[in-house]
Amino acid sequence: MKLFNTMRSTASLALIALLLLHLTPALTLAQNEGLTPLQVAKIQSATSAAVSTDGQYIAFTRTIPADPLAENARNTTELHLVHTGTGETTPLVTSGNIGSIAFRPVQGTVSFLSRRDGDSGNSLYEVAITGGEPVRLHAHETSILGYDWGMDGNHIVYMANEKLPDAVNPLPYKPEIFEENLPNRQVYIQNVAVEDHNPHHITVDGSVYMAVWSPNRTKIAISAAPTPHIDDFYMFQQVMIVDYRSKEIAHKIDNAGKIGSIHWSPDGTRLALVAGNSINDPIDGRIMVVSAEGGTPVNIAPAFEGKFEQIDWTADDTIHFIASEGVNSSFGTIRPDGSGMTRIVQAGGPILTSFDRSDNNTVAFRAHTPAHPNEVFVLKPGETTPERLTNHNPWLDDVKMGRQEVIRYTARDGEFDIEGMLMYPVDYQEGERYPLIVIVHGGPEAHYGNGWLTGYNSAGQMGTARGYFVFYPNYRGSTGRGLTFIKSSQGDLAGKEFDDIVDGVDYLIERGLVDGDRVGVNGGSYGGYATAWMSTYYSDRFAAGVMFVGISNNISKWGTSDIPEELYLVHSRKRIWEYWEDNLKRSPIYYVDRSQTPLLIAHGKEDTRVHPAQSLELHRHLVVRKPDLPVRLVFYPGEGHGNARATSRLDYNIRTLRWFDTFLKGDGVMPHNDIHPDEIH
């Protein structure tokens, strides 16, 4: 007991010293040695941006990370303003959490959603661009989930969950009823300029996710799913046109599949949807145009080998867009019939993640590069290169980072060239072979861009600082490469898509860069599935794995996930009961007998997308059938499909890097299961 107390006191002193170091703004720790987990935990970034009508100001939100050494809390967000001419930044609201920012038409103030003193949920606020105390414009009995301004600057259309009656149960115990009594999202109209005005409810069956005013404020385009279940949100939203005066549905659009946003043509006669090409398209990445009086949306650029990330219909014959094109992004225009596609900002620069355009054609972007996470950029009228306006992490300029390059290699079947990003070790010496960490993205309908790739769940520049190559493959089924590429993995779970990853490893070995005996793999969700597959089926190729919220058994996965229809429609393309045996053979648990890869498994205990039992199953199979294999399972209470809180993120980050250090560079002895103070840096 005395020894324990002494050890605890020493640990406490070390933790206090580290905490003092952590709080210093300069973040001098290991700046000349590369990026560390504690530094990553402090990174700020721009999360949204909106430009004023005259283009003079950009309002933006930025994350303020919680201190992982103080409490396991979520990040908060602040509202700031930057002048597009001078670059001067002014804080507007630095308390609470800020979301859904917009410039209020006519008034010129900045509106936002936040839960502030006296609110029972998120309410609508505005603040002047000169600052001051925010003014509450409207509150609902439940949280406002989203809103859109009418052209007059007084009317909003907004969504909020319906208020359900309290459950009646005289027993001193309340069970949870699975997937029943869930509130629908309802839609309302409110005139915020009229005091004590009661909002008008628009009656729509199901749950409403989008609501957008027509330019002349006579109609509202909405999308509604049959139920509030996440599967219906993904796959079965229906677009409708509501008459503002009668509040009745005037027209229905015959859209199918995933949908991300709705945009009116300036004359109010047509709609452009960022949506799927069909019910079987894995993403909402096409521009689909349709009459506002009904009909079937048409893909205006079916041959485009990229993904439209965001659009804005800015003139009758012009739609502005951000598109992912392979590992790059571009900004440009296209006509509503699909002709005249022009890139204003060419692919190959910063990765553009969102934009907002003013009346004078000033464009605000959020964008990131290999050197920094999302910041605010501006594209001034007539220019073609966005200018960076903010720098939330100036200390990053003093941190040594590994070189990042785009690589391309041919898949073993010769059908596709595969792209990916490769980060070099910080002190790379040509001719020397290094250990490799492969980071596999989830989805699989996602992709890595050639920008900032480091996070709590992605080794990135933390790996380069420790002497690793870090590889980010965009295997077949990834986004940003068009319809053929993204659909090429359907009906072939863990097949050629994961072979593409191994082919990338072979390519790096053949180039003389990587030591083939020291290759690790890490990923979350579908990337966790890939990690489990590499650690079983391809176990002879991987010396260490870290599986995060991943899949191990496709049969039980289907029965416990909240997206079974999405799994069928855009992934398996067969019902699970039509091929039980094949589903089992595409499951990592089927190949546990091959496993010789030390595996760290981590999962949020409240995950509804991939049930924690997926991790439990693989762990149980491994410890029983491979008792000498280093395997560990870590559950994160209170976390879901990915860690959202500061301390649980840091914990996972530290454990992941330690696992790779042990089995790719160290003695291979099972590491301790605690986090020691000297590991927090």
Quick: pLDDT tens for 29-75.
344 479 999 999 999 999 999 999 999 999 999 999 999 999 999 99
Output the furthest CA–CA distance in the chain (Å, rounded): 79
Query: Three-state SS across 489-553?
Result: CCCCCCCHHHHHHHHHHHHHHHCCCEEEEEEEEEEECHHHHHHHHHCCCCHHHCCEEEEECCCCC
- Residue 672 main-chain phi, psi, to 5 deg: -60, 160
**Number of residues in the chain:** 681
- Three-state DSSP at 47 gives strand
Per CATH, is 417-679 categorized as 3.40.50.300? no
pLDDT > 90 fraction of the chain, expressed in percent and rounded? 92
Give residue 322's pLDDT.
98
Asked if 270 and 336 touch (Cβ cutoff 8 Å), the reply is yes
Provide mean pLDDT across the span 151-179. Answer: 92
pTM comes to 0.93
Query: CA 514, CA 520: separation in Å to the nearest integer?
Result: 11
The amino acid sitting at 31 is: Q
Give residue 21's pLDDT.
36
Give residue 1's pLDDT.
31
Query: CA 533, CA 511: separation in Å to the nearest integer?
Result: 25
Residue 289 confidence (pLDDT) above 80: yes
| Residue spans per domain, the chain | 417-679
464, 413, 408, 403: which is closest to 439 by C-alpha? 464
Residue 263 confidence (pLDDT) above 60: yes
276, 182, 259: which is closest to 221 by C-alpha? 259
- Contacts for 338-342: CB closer than 8 Å, 24+ residues apart: 338/287, 338/300, 338/301, 341/301, 341/304
Q: Across the strands, what pairs with 239?
A: 223
Residue 16 confidence (pLDDT) above 50: no
From residue 94, give the alpha-carbon distance in Å to each of 23, 48, 132, 547: 19, 15, 11, 37
Provide mean pLDDT across the span 252-268. Answer: 97
Residues 320/322/326/327 CA torsion (nearest 10 deg): 150
Give residue 174's pLDDT.
87
Give residue 167's pLDDT.
82
Quick: pLDDT tens for 102-128.
999 999 999 999 999 999 999 999 999
The mean of the pLDDT values for the chain is: 94
